[in-house]
Amino acid sequence: MLASNDSGAIFRPGRQIYPFQWNWDSALIALGLARIDSERGRTEVRSLLRGQWSDGMVPHIVFHGNATDYAPGPEVWDSAVSPLAPKLPTSGITQPPVLASAVRALHEAAPDAAFLAEVVPALETWHDWLHRERADDSGLVAIHHPWEAADNSPRFDRALARLDTAGAPAVERLDRRVVDAAERPTDRDYTQYLTIVDRLHALGYRPGPGEAPFVYVDLSFNSILAVAEADLAWLWGELGGDGRRAQAGGSRVRDALAARWDESAAAYAGDDDATATVDTLFPLYAAVPSAAQARRLWDEALWSPARFGPSQDAPWAVTSTSKSSPAYDPRRYWRGPVWINVNWFLIRGLERVGLAAEAAELRQLTLDLVRRSGFSEYYDPHTGDPLGSGGFSWSAALTLDLLSTARSRPESSIRSR
């Protein structure tokens, strides 16, 4: 399936809707390929970095070709408006920085010092850019568009509602030609997304202090950054270079995430605490919770039938929004469905905090879901139905990663099954 999405230089994220290279899709695909085809994984990383801006940002989409079946395309983004943009057209925003973790996975599977020397400095400038351009007072970094994290997640509703969308650009919805409208963001969502793009474009994609039309401190983005900084410091160690900035950056983010622990919710407080989304569990990925907090997070939130875990009427987990939230919408994109990448991040977090049996349970459920419904973009938690684009690359790549890491578990645990 992955081969059918492969142009040789980039993997498209899905058989439908997405014809270009997306940032965290490519990182997760490269990570999943680490033990299978590390050379192809390295090509994916190189292709993504061809889109890096001169100030360090690695953009969320790199438009390698001229596909016309995606909106908003390169002409809307018009990255040439900025002198910082590369020749290759790209979007003007970024995405969760998984890439350093992918490069570490590639290096652990098949060491290649020359490749590290080529890409590690680029990762350093991207992470440094995040702390510089997106700093928040608390030590975390902010996102400037919902497309930098989880599109129509209810956690962004309140911040988006504050936008003035008068004079918004016309919305073009090519996505709904191939996917049921009920599984995608609404036109109102798209009006807000394009309003932000329009404003950022007018500012050359580099808003000054107080100018960004949308600012949100996303826990998923920051948790991914915390892990990526630690991985980058490790990569510098392999290279014999100086990983101190990365090490300190990762620690600062982890400390600031730890301060968001909410004892009453057994989860972390997001920017909008009225909405309970899976974002509030994400610091688990960065092993932020203490042993006692991790136990509560699992029992009372992640695996709770009333919240994100499997229940009688919705046996597939983890839901992207809590089932007890009024915003829960089980088939609509990031507002309820199960995502393979979300499960993968949480499985890795459970392993990191020592909840091995719980990690194995979620891994098994995730593998059962793809066995039942194939490699889809997302899934209905009630029926397990595949939703969104079919033939979805990160769902396949992360399945490879889950399978290969299951095989490399200690012999004793394999024997006792």
Enzyme catalytic residues: 151, 377
- Tell which one of 108, 118, 136, 151 touches ligand 2M8 (CB under 6 A): 151
Rounded to a whole number of angstroms, the minimum distance from the CB of residue 151 to ligand 2M8 is 5
**Structure tokens, 245:** 């900035």
User: Which region, judged by CB under 6 A, interacts with ligand 2M8, from 20-28, 260-268, 288-296, 403-411?
Assistant: 20-28
Do residues 301 and 262 lie in contact, with contact meaning Cβ atoms separated by under 8 Å?
no
Residue 303 lies near ligand 2M8 (rule: CB under 6 A):
no
The Cα–Cα gap between 301 and 159 comes to: 24
Rounded to a whole number of angstroms, the minimum distance from the CB of residue 96 to ligand 2M8 is 8
Residue closer to ligand 2M8 (CB basis): 143 or 235: 143
User: Which region, judged by CB under 6 A, interacts with ligand 2M8, from 17-25, 50-58, 114-122, 342-350?
Assistant: 17-25
- Tell which one of 2, 10, 11, 13 touches ligand 2M8 (CB under 6 A): 13
Rounded to a whole number of angstroms, the minimum distance from the CB of residue 63 to ligand 2M8 is 12
User: Which region, judged by CB under 6 A, interacts with ligand 2M8, from 18-26, 76-84, 116-124, 402-410?
Assistant: 18-26
Residue 24 lies near ligand 2M8 (rule: CB under 6 A):
yes
Residue 216 lies near ligand 2M8 (rule: CB under 6 A):
no
Can the peptide bond before residue 410 be classed as cis, meaning omega within 30 degrees of 0?
Answer: no
**Residue with tokens 């992360």, as numbered in its chain:** 398
Rounded to a whole number of angstroms, the minimum distance from the CB of residue 396 to ligand 2M8 is 13
Site string for ligand 2M8, 44-63 (x = CB under 6 A): ----------------x---
**Structure tokens, 347:** 């499985």
Rounded to a whole number of angstroms, the minimum distance from the CB of residue 351 to ligand 2M8 is 23
Residue closer to ligand 2M8 (CB basis): 139 or 374: 374
Site string for ligand 2M8, 341-360 (x = CB under 6 A): --------------------
φ, ψ (nearest 5 deg) of residue 156: -95, -5
Residue closer to ligand 2M8 (CB basis): 56 or 391: 391
Residue 18 lies near ligand 2M8 (rule: CB under 6 A):
yes
Residue closer to ligand 2M8 (CB basis): 218 or 229: 218
The Cα–Cα gap between 370 and 339 comes to: 11
Residue closer to ligand 2M8 (CB basis): 69 or 299: 69
- Tell which one of 11, 22, 234, 285 touches ligand 2M8 (CB under 6 A): 22
Residue closer to ligand 2M8 (CB basis): 91 or 373: 91
The Cα–Cα gap between 207 and 316 comes to: 41
Site string for ligand 2M8, 196-215 (x = CB under 6 A): --------------------
Rounded to a whole number of angstroms, the minimum distance from the CB of residue 18 to ligand 2M8 is 5
**Structure tokens, 119:** 């890409």
Residue 147 lies near ligand 2M8 (rule: CB under 6 A):
yes
Q: Which residue is nearest to ligand 2M8 (CB)?
A: 13
Residue 375 lies near ligand 2M8 (rule: CB under 6 A):
no
The footprint of ligand 2M8 (CB under 6 A) covers: 13, 18, 22, 24-25, 60, 147, 151
